[in-house]
Amino acid sequence: MKGLLVAQNASYVHTNLAVRLLREQLHKDISILEMTVNEDLHRRIGKILLAAPDYILYSAYIWNWTDIQRIGEYIRKADPHIAQYVGGPEVSYDVEERLRNEDWIDGILRGEGENTIGALVECIEGRRGRSEVAGLAYREGEEVRVNPLPAYASDLNALIPASYTESMKNRILYYESMRGCPYHCSYCLSSEGGRIRYRDVKKIKEDMREIFATGTKLIKFVDRSFHIDPARSVEIIDFFSEESPADTGIHFEMNLEHLDREVAKHINAAPAGKFQIEAGIQSVNPVVNAAIHRKTDIDAVGRALQMLDTEKTHIHLDLIVGLPHEDLESFLAGFDRVAKLGAQKIQIGFLKLLRGTELRRRAEEFGIVYESTPPYEVIATADFSAREVILLRNFATAVENYYDEARFREVYHAVQKKGTPPSQFYLGIAQKLQDDAHRRLFRGRDGKYRFLHRHLNEKYGRDAPLYDALKKDFYRNEDRYIGHVLGIEDPELSKNEVIEFLKRNPEFASDRNPHKAAKRVRGVRLANTKRYYLYTDGKYIRHFDERR
Ligand code: SF4
């Protein structure tokens, strides 16, 4: 019989680790069909039908479940002989409800599938009864039967690693060096994932050498133990520094508040840009953290950031909107504390009430109302009105466009000098986005400059230091005349003035011929200085200020 593992990723750059692991454990030829949810639905259905499988195993997550439902129903009607099974975090819970309501599903394989997929395939092929497949949920007449999960969890060292037959040049690869998590955050499925298991570092290195050969530029390395076993962490970090290809980045999720000094030292010794660290702060309010079983110590995160060379390693900090007991004021105060830490990115997510999590079970207790379809995002809570949640969606857009894009750092600091905390700056932008919701406000790169220019003028009047800051941000990033973008008159220094400057400072452009060098230099008037910018191939190299 012909089987098909179907993966549908959130976008082309993502890859599905689960189907690759399942294929390897099966010891049997089975095809993988990997698509994205952005592809036309009927085209995806066409690909599945063209593969002519006898049975399909869908890998289900919150980002593809609604599509799987439509595809599964369609396929049942198009070819009722194809058996359809689902597995994955989105379907491992509430299985009775699913099997009663969705008759296109022949069975749900709950929990980790690597140890049970073989039995399921034997069952589909008629060599084993359904009651003999651990973790399988299925219908029998009017009844739904749910077999217990296997008594043992997958031994990570016994797993045959995923293999990659295709080029992964422009794609992100995921790798699990451990499963389970020592923490118990009530909104997260990893906290329910059973005991913690590690893969031996020796095996990790062997797997990684295979992965490096795929040409991937980014590996998302899932290991939540970096603060638990510093010696193991150091060995892994040094391995990446020494052996990973120069253009391959490694992304870690880390609990920064417990960052070990020695681990930090080894991260700092890596080539610049090798590591990206994402750290979940989620909330800095202790009442909120107590409700979700977290203990975030923001001062300890600050100390960790001081240990790290943040010029070399990019740090992303995450916050979540909609946690129990968090209101707008508390969220914004938390944002200001996080912003002070100076991470390159602050990612604002919206609480997802995932099936199987404690927080979903207790949602009513906290007054949390959420979408009934995936991704089950928060609509309102006892402490956050629905309108405030929408306002914070615009706030997240403002942060993504004006904080995470380092292009606007001068303006960011200048508004703070005027006494506006970061949260109020982004809230102002969010408010404007909301008020003008019917207009498309950011049209490309230039649109962002224009929008910010308008916003600063409306909010602060025609303020010279703020305009200077915007100008500095602009010329730091653009080798072109600001007036053409903002639709204003603000002449640059003349070519002659630039040439005279280069005669006085021949070392600035490392070119003895000032006439030739002047082609790469722009002169700009700021409040008390003339600033000269040097570019190469349109990219900013350096600047020099001459007091007027
Ligand atoms: S949110 Fe992170 S730390 Fe908390 S349980 Fe999940 S994986 Fe562990």
| 3-state helix/strand/coil string of 143-179 | EEEECCCCCCCCCCCCCCCCCCCCCCCCCEEEEECEE
Contacts for 102 with CB less than 8 Å, ≥ 6 apart:
69, 72, 73
Residues 449 and 523 in one domain: no
Contacts for 209 with CB less than 8 Å, ≥ 6 apart:
243
Q: What are phi and psi of 172, to 5 degrees?
A: -95, 135
3-state percent breakdown (helix, strand, coil) of the chain, nearest 5: 40, 20, 40
- Nearest-angstrom CA–CA distance, 152 and 150: 5
Query: Per this entry, what is the length of the chain?
Result: 548
- For residue 152, being part of any structural domain is answered with no
Q: Please give the pLDDT value at position 84.
A: 98
Question: pLDDT digits over 366-408, tens only?
Answer: 999 999 999 999 999 999 999 999 999 999 999 999 999 889 9
Locus of tokens 């689960």:
18
State which of 82, 111, 146 marks the end of a domain: 146
Residues 183 and 101 in one domain: no
Residues 118 and 184 in one domain: no
Per-residue confidence band for 194, with pLDDT thresholds at 50, 70 and 90: low
Residues 389 and 342 in one domain: no
Pocket test for ligand 1, best of 176, 191, 295, 296 (most atoms within 8 A of CB): 191
- For residue 243, being part of any structural domain is answered with yes
Reading the block at residue 355, the tokens are 């099936």
Beta carbons within 10 angstroms of residue 371's beta carbon: 13
Residues 200 and 312 in one domain: yes
| Closest approach atom of ligand 1 to CA 182 | 8
Per-residue confidence band for 20, with pLDDT thresholds at 50, 70 and 90: very high
Residue nearest to atom 7 of ligand 1 (CA): 190
Residues 495 and 485 in one domain: no
- Nearest-angstrom CA–CA distance, 140 and 314: 53
Average of per-residue pLDDT across 166-187: 91
Residues 62 and 195 in one domain: no
- For residue 154, being part of any structural domain is answered with no
* Local structure of residue 352 (DSSP, 8 states): B
- For residue 405, being part of any structural domain is answered with yes
Select from 241, 300, 244 the least CA-distant residue to 267. Answer: 241
- For residue 204, being part of any structural domain is answered with yes
- Nearest-angstrom CA–CA distance, 473 and 408: 6
Residues 200 and 313 in one domain: yes
- For residue 409, being part of any structural domain is answered with yes
* pLDDT > 70: percent of the chain: 99
Question: pLDDT digits over 416-450, tens only?
Answer: 999 999 999 999 999 999 988 777 767 789 999 99
Residues 453 and 537 in one domain: no
**Distance from the CA of 423 to the center of ligand 1, in angstroms?**
26
188 touches ligand 1 (CB under 6 Å): yes
State which of 322, 347, 362 marks the end of a domain: 362
Q: Please give the pLDDT value at position 193.
A: 61
State which of 489, 517, 535 marks the end of a domain: 489
Question: pLDDT digits over 448-463, tens only?
Answer: 999 999 999 999 998 9
224 touches ligand 1 (CB under 6 Å): yes
Q: Please give the pLDDT value at position 405.
A: 87
Select from 261, 176, 253, 238 the least CA-distant residue to 211. Answer: 176
Question: What do you get for the CA distance between the two ends of the chain, in Å?
Answer: 81
Residues 124 and 253 in one domain: no
| Number of structural domains the chain divides into | 4
| Closest approach atom of ligand 1 to CA 188 | 6
**Distance from the CA of 357 to the center of ligand 1, in angstroms?**
12
Residues 192 and 331 in one domain: yes
Q: Is 80 exceeded by the pLDDT of residue 192?
A: no
Pocket test for ligand 1, best of 178, 185, 289, 354 (most atoms within 8 A of CB): 185
Q: Indicate the average pLDDT of the chain.
A: 95
- Is the dihedral angle over the CA atoms 523, 525, 530, 534 positive or is it negative? negative
115 touches ligand 1 (CB under 6 Å): no
* pLDDT > 90: percent of the chain: 88
**Distance from the CA of 257 to the center of ligand 1, in angstroms?**
14
Q: Is 90 exceeded by the pLDDT of residue 165?
A: no
Residues 95, 118: contact at Cβ < 8 Å? no
Residue 378: how many CA atoms within 13 Å on its side-chain side? 31
Pocket test for ligand 1, best of 184, 196, 221, 224 (most atoms within 8 A of CB): 224
Question: pLDDT digits over 6-17, tens only?
Answer: 999 999 999 999
Pocket test for ligand 1, best of 177, 179, 181 (most atoms within 8 A of CB): 181
CATH number for position 121: 3.40.50.280
Q: Please give the pLDDT value at position 226.
A: 74
Residues 57, 23: contact at Cβ < 8 Å? no
Reading the block at residue 340, the tokens are 């002070």
Average of per-residue pLDDT across 97-125: 96
Contacts for 368 with CB less than 8 Å, ≥ 6 apart:
322, 324, 351, 353, 359, 378, 380, 381, 382
Residues 376, 353: contact at Cβ < 8 Å? yes
| Domain residue limits at 535 | 491-547
- For residue 379, being part of any structural domain is answered with no
Q: Please give the pLDDT value at position 4.
A: 98
- For residue 370, being part of any structural domain is answered with no
Residues 506 and 473 in one domain: no
Locus of tokens 């995002």:
377
Locus of tokens 């069952």:
123
Average of per-residue pLDDT across 490-512: 95
Q: Please give the pLDDT value at position 528.
A: 87
